[in-house]
Amino acid sequence: MSNKSFLIKTFGCQMNDRDSEIMGQLLSEDGYIETSETDQADLIILNTCSIRAKAEQKVMSLLGVLRKHKKRNPKLIICVAGCVAQQEGQELIRRMPHVNLVVGTQNIYHIVQLINSLGKHEVATTLVDNYSIPAFIPNLKQHNVGGEPEIFRKFLTIMQGCNNYCSYCVVPFTRGREVSRSVSHIIEEAKSLIKGGVKEITLLGQNVNSYGQTNSVTEPAVPYSFAELLRAVAKIDGLKRLRFTTSNPKDLSDDLMSCFAEIDILCPQFHLPVQSGSNAILTAMHRRYTRELYLEKVTALRKYCPEIALTTDVIVGFPGETDADFEDTMSLLEEVQYHGSYSFKYSDRPGTRSADFENKVDEKIKSERLARFQKRQDEIGLAYNRGYVGKTIPVMIERNEFDKMVGRAETNHLVHFTDLSSCTVAGDIIDATVTHAGQHSLQGKLPGKD
């Protein structure tokens, strides 16, 4: 046991958020105490992302700052975890000798043992094909990295890695081959979360639609599709809301789409990354679907669930993207009318196929395209948000402090309340009448109040 303090700084996606939570739980179980003060920490973990060059640069510059902390406090242990750790391995310690430990994505469950057996430097970044996510320890104390008391809303990792090898993407190299967790472990973990007060679960994987097609070696084949898994999780007593992310359109089955009509607690919200509206670019990206197939899926989803809030990811300036290709992305945006989107300038990543493509797009053109896409998306998103004004919608309260009440709509919008309810606690679902729409959030009041 230890009474040392730790600080985890998380970059990147929700997989990393969940991994940070797990590392935090494991450290807390070992007696570590969390701190938010860099100066007070005995152990600092950076859980890193390498999806784009910018994400990696952020980590490197923070490591530069930490070098000074280490000079003041030579006993400070600096650990780099996550995707940059996986990708750089030994090289990270060569470039940053003040880093004590490099922990790859498949080794986070061993964080305590690794720290306890730390010599001068350690590197644990082996990626193995027969990787399995350990069965979760059910009664582990709930831990919230960052101190946000969000115990009613949690992520649950159902699979790791990715086999798709989109030509721009580093994930198969940083998270390894796709592995599905067993249904029994997922259900067990969901039950334990709910027992601990969780009301909303988001099932997480790089490509949840292919759940069950790739199995962990520790269990026989998973006899469940993702749709069947959703139905099984939805049946657990006490769960109020269910979400999932992320989906690859090529694997999106009709059975899964029909769940939106069938499962009451499945929130009407879907993140369906398109990446580009041009078939030529989709082929070069190795996405294995066409614009037409994508649009068919969108139509089907809206048939099952007309109010569904659709979001997407878009990359602009992929190698070889012409003006006409980009116009295809703009016209797809007009056709689909997303509630929101995450859009990025293409960035070369080491080891990916597109890094070697020759016809790279000029940075200035990428920036212009990104700005144009985002401007139009903002207009569409705001128009959607304005459409909620005057409607009464269910909102799950996230925080209710003496002067501030904030909740989340089923569509994932944050709802700020203009009046307060003293008998409402975080995790309750209440009806709210939307009074005002902003670009990224809504404002609401309790029904019947003026």
When asked if residue 275 is in the footprint of ligand 5AD (CB under 6 A), the reply is: yes
Q: Which of 10, 21, 6 is nearest to 143 (CA)?
A: 21
Residue 284 in the binding site for ligand SF4 (CB under 6 A): no
Number of residues that bind ligand SF4 (CB under 6 A): 13
CB 424 within 8 A of CB 430: yes
Q: Which stretch binds ligand SF4 (CB under 6 A): 49-57, 268-276, 401-409, 426-434?
A: 49-57
Sheet containing strand 5-10, edge to edge, reads: 33-34, 5-10, 43-48, 77-81, 101-103, 122-124
Establish if 260 lies at the interface with ligand 5AD (CB under 6 A): no
Nearer to ligand SF4 by Cβ, of 171 and 266: the residue is 171
What lies within 8 Å, CB to CB, of 90 at 6+ separation is: 102, 123
Are 38 and 175 spatial neighbours (Cβ–Cβ below 8 Å)?
no
Least distance CB 171 / ligand SF4 (angstroms): 5
Letters for 146-185 (x = contact with ligand SF4 by CB under 6 A, - = none) are ------------------------xx--xx----------
Helices (H) and strands (E) in the chain, counts: 13, 19
Residue 349 vs 408, nearer CB to ligand 5AD: 349
Residue 347 binds what, of ligand 5AD, ligand SF4, none (CB under 5 to 8 Å, by partner type)?
Answer: ligand 5AD
Shortest distance in whole angstroms from residue 381 CB to ligand 5AD: 17
Q: Which does 315 bind (CB under 5 to 8 A by kind): ligand 5AD, ligand SF4, none?
A: ligand 5AD
CB 56 within 8 A of CB 50: yes
Q: With CA atoms as reference, report the closest residue to 417 among 440, 438, 394, 433.
A: 433
Q: By CB under 6 A, name the one of 55, 162, 309, 315 that touches ligand 5AD.
A: 315
52 binds ligand 5AD (CB under 6 A): yes
Taking CB under 6 A as the criterion, the residue among 122, 313, 368, 428 binding ligand 5AD is: 313
Instruction: Show the tokens assigned to 173.
Output: 């190299």
Closer of 13 and 193 to ligand SF4 (Cβ): 13
- The pair phi, psi for residue 327, each rounded to 5°, is -60, -35
Residue 437, phi then psi, degrees to nearest 5 = -120, 130
Residues engaged in binding ligand 5AD (CB under 6 A): 51-52, 168-169, 273, 275, 313, 315, 344, 346-347, 349
